[in-house]
Amino acid sequence: MKEVILNNWSFMRVIRLLAGIAIIIQAIANKDAVFGVAGFLFTIMALFNTGCCGTGGCYTPVKKTTKTTEEISYEEVVK
């Protein structure tokens, strides 16, 4: 659990955490419980690195290409 919270922080994960904290602050300022629940969910999603699809329901594997580029030779055509 400690590894999930402390590792693999990406830009979107930080944005979700900041949005969640901002929503919680606004919920407290406006005394709005529903808004507070939404902020809590955003914060939990960021902390545990989950999304709407769970921990990997929408995961798309990264394609690693090992191909090297081929040198293309061109011929000059003169008229």
> pLDDT tens digits, residue range 41-57?
889 888 887 766 655 55
Q: How many other CB atoms are there within 10 angstroms of residue 18's CB atom?
A: 13
- Residue 6: inside a domain: yes
- Residue 70: inside a domain: no
The domain tally of the chain equals: 1
Eight-state DSSP code of residue 54? B
pLDDT band of residue 21 (cuts 50, 70, 90) is: very high
Look up the pTM and report it.
0.60
The 3-state DSSP class for residue 67 equals: coil
pLDDT band of residue 61 (cuts 50, 70, 90) is: low
Domain housing 21:
2-47
- Residue 14: inside a domain: yes
